[in-house]
Amino acid sequence: MTQPSSTPQPLDIAPATGRLGLLMPGMGAVSTTTIAGIMAARQGLAAPIGSLTQMAHIRLGRREEGRNPMIKDFAPLAGMDDMAFGGWDPISANALEAARTCGVLQEADLAPISGEMEGVTSMPAVFDQRWVSKLEGIRVKEGANKWDLAQQLVEDIARFKEEENCDRLVMVWTGSTEAYQVESDVHADPDAFEAGMKANDPNISPSQMYAWAALSSGVPFANGAPNLAVDTPWAAMLAAERGVPFTGKDFKTGQTLMKTILAPGFKARMLGVRGWYSTNILGNRDGEVLDDPENFKTKEMSKLGVLDTILQPELYPDLYGNLDHVVRINYYPPRGDNKEGWDNIDIFGWMGYPMQIKVDFLCRDSILAAPIVLDLALFLDLAQRAGQSGLQEWLSFYWKAPDALGGIPPEHDIFIQQIKLKNTLRAWLGEEPVTHAEDE
């Protein structure tokens, strides 16, 4: 839609009237931290740090024009005040209880919003230990087969919308990483998928059933974990059919975030990379789940892809063609909900001389993921009101393993992702792209 060589035409975007409901399968550390932060921000208790929709400015026109509005003043986004929250969980009954179990937020930060948090109840979940062997579900839906369970989710969605008086909904998967799987026949198209649910096909995981329920209900969907949810053909076809936007996958936090910042830097300066060793220690439910090799494999696949697409070894074999990339995750209870990522990077420069970089990132997973959930909710809602459907590639900025349009490799470089996001917004609103050429 953007035409660099003529004045861009803005899209016709419906206004953000009424309430926007945010539905999250998996009421754990990420979703409760998201909810708590939005509630705190609404009361002016905390700034929504990390959120582009709430904090970032966007430059318009040439730099001497000085036009630099906030994104939320430039694009017609829903406001935080107009948001309602809901979700499903196999363990916790409400967001307050879940937040306390997770231990991400201090009691002092939960206190002023505890009543409101308690009011966000979680619905019983579609859950199957086959996919997350380390967890034991106690609040689990029962049904004749997967089709029946998916219908229950569709009903949950409809009831939530009515009870919470929402105009529009968005769903963001905030549940655990599911066991590794590859695409199978049942994922080939919507008909195969529906038949599969009726036949209780073992290749259909809970996250896929949530995705199906969302897309079928016309609700945009984002997948915060690395498992297959909307990245097989049935989902793209169903989304196109119903005119629903979706995006994925795996929130870009912690070590991978660092990687997609650093690797473009090495490449910008044409420095070679001989090896990259990454280890993570984490002590929460996520760590426990990923201690299972099946679930780790899903995550590992998501994490390993990053470097290749940024560094382009096929184009730069001398620099990146012989790169040993090792990623490890270890369950280490003393770390609690915090996470620590240690990277060793072996680079080389002029005349092949080697250098080393060590990065120790003492990070907080949910703190980094929460603003992503908020941004995805608001941007997917914007996309839907702007008449967009299918894969939203411009949201690759938020993903560890961004889905890409057919045939073209995904973009992992966070700075190109950022330009793509901002230039897409500029294009939708009828502004010129920013090119940073000499005289701009």
Asked if 272 touches a second copy (CB under 8 A), the answer is yes
In angstroms, what is the minimal distance from the CB of 68 to a second copy? Answer: 7
Among 332, 386, 404, 410, contact with a second copy (rule: CB under 8 A):
332
Among 315, 321, 387, 430, contact with a second copy (rule: CB under 8 A):
315
In angstroms, what is the minimal distance from the CB of 89 to a second copy? Answer: 21
In angstroms, what is the minimal distance from the CB of 38 to a second copy? Answer: 10
Asked if 342 touches a second copy (CB under 8 A), the answer is yes
Among 316, 386, 390, 410, contact with a second copy (rule: CB under 8 A):
316
In the bound state with a second copy, the residue whose beta carbon lies nearer, of 243 and 293, is 293
In the bound state with a second copy, the residue whose beta carbon lies nearer, of 2 and 184, is 2
Among 12, 65, 162, 438, contact with a second copy (rule: CB under 8 A):
438
Asked if 37 touches a second copy (CB under 8 A), the answer is yes
Which one of the spans 135-143, 151-159, 239-247, 351-359 is the region binding a second copy (CB under 8 A)? 351-359
Two tokens at 301? 């696949």
In the bound state with a second copy, the residue whose beta carbon lies nearer, of 99 and 197, is 99
In the bound state with a second copy, the residue whose beta carbon lies nearer, of 227 and 384, is 384
How many chain residues interact with a second copy (CB under 8 A)?
A: 102
Asked if 197 touches a second copy (CB under 8 A), the answer is no
Q: How far apart are CA 371 and CA 374, in angstroms?
A: 5
Q: How far apart are CA 440 and CA 435, in angstroms?
A: 8
88, 27 contact by CB (below 8 A)? yes
Q: Which of residues 92-121 bind a second copy (CB under 8 A)?
A: 105, 109
Residue 346 three-state SS:
strand
- Torsion angle (degrees, nearest 10) of CA 189, 194, 200, 205: 60
Asked if 359 touches a second copy (CB under 8 A), the answer is yes
Asked if 346 touches a second copy (CB under 8 A), the answer is yes
In the bound state with a second copy, the residue whose beta carbon lies nearer, of 149 and 311, is 311
364, 341 contact by CB (below 8 A)? no
Torsion-angle region of 200 (φ positive above 0: left; ψ -120 to 50: alpha; else: beta):
left
Q: What is the β-pairing status of strands 338-348 and 272-282?
A: antiparallel
Asked if 389 touches a second copy (CB under 8 A), the answer is no
235, 213 contact by CB (below 8 A)? no
Strands laid side by side in the 83-88 sheet = 122-123, 83-88, 20-25, 168-173, 221-223, 245-248, 390-391
In angstroms, what is the minimal distance from the CB of 177 to a second copy? Answer: 20
In angstroms, what is the minimal distance from the CB of 363 to a second copy? Answer: 5
Q: How many CB atoms lie within 10 A of CB 85?
A: 25
DSSP string for 153-201: HHHHHHHHHHHTT-SEEEEEE-SPPPPP----GGGSSHHHHHHHHHTT-
Q: How far is CA 72 from the centre of its chain?
A: 20
Asked if 275 touches a second copy (CB under 8 A), the answer is yes
Helix (H) or strand (E) holding 247: strand 245-248
In the bound state with a second copy, the residue whose beta carbon lies nearer, of 96 and 213, is 96
In the bound state with a second copy, the residue whose beta carbon lies nearer, of 200 and 277, is 277
Two tokens at 32? 């409760």
Asked if 309 touches a second copy (CB under 8 A), the answer is no
Among 198, 242, 297, 335, contact with a second copy (rule: CB under 8 A):
335
187, 203 contact by CB (below 8 A)? yes
Asked if 285 touches a second copy (CB under 8 A), the answer is no
Q: Which of residues 47-66 bind a second copy (CB under 8 A)?
A: 47-52, 55-57, 63-64
Asked if 14 touches a second copy (CB under 8 A), the answer is no
